[in-house]
Amino acid sequence: MAFDKQKLFERLKKIADEKKPLFLDELFTLAGLSSETFYRLFPKGSGEYDAIQNKILDNRAHIRAALRRRWFNSEHPHLQKSLYALIASDDELRRLFFQRTVIETGKQANIEIVINPLDNGREKKD
């Protein structure tokens, strides 16, 4: 199937503006276009690719902002905690999301295990 590249580009921009897809593959589905055709016509680094990608990124940014506003205004603690996690310092995150388990051994010594999933690959600051 032959495509008029400029018409397709304009159609993709219109779909991105109206349907607000968050991922390129979602845009491809909405447009009835294969990813192979898209990348052949609009290779990474081309102006058209960058324009389409920027529309996708804009859609994501608008949705993130809207969700954060809803979380801020919410009465649900789990949503407020999620928002706090986005803006918290590393120390606050560690305190907010650590798990502590104390194992009673029946002997004088107790074992305390602290699991902090946020230290995964991060340098600890003591």
Q: What local confidence, expressed as pLDDT, does residue 2 receive? A: 62
pTM for the full predicted model: 0.65
pLDDT in the model for residue 53:
97
Domain count of the fold of the chain: 2
In-domain check, residue 82: no
Shared domain for 9 and 63, answered yes or no, is yes
Instruction: Give me the DSSP letters along 93-119.
Output: HHHHH-EEEEE--SSS--EEEEE-GGG
As a whole number of angstroms, the distance between CA 57 and CA 13 comes to 13
Residue 32's domain comprises 5-73
Determine, yes or no, domain membership for 49: yes
Provide the residue-wise pLDDT of the chain in tens; the chain has 126 residues: 567 999 999 999 999 999 999 999 999 999 999 999 999 999 999 999 999 999 999 999 999 999 899 989 999 988 888 888 888 888 888 777 776 666 666 666 656 666 666 555 555 554
Domain-located, residue 13: yes
| 63 and 108 inside one domain | no
* Tokens 């506003």 -> residue: 69
Beta strands in the chain (DSSP E): 99-103, 111-115
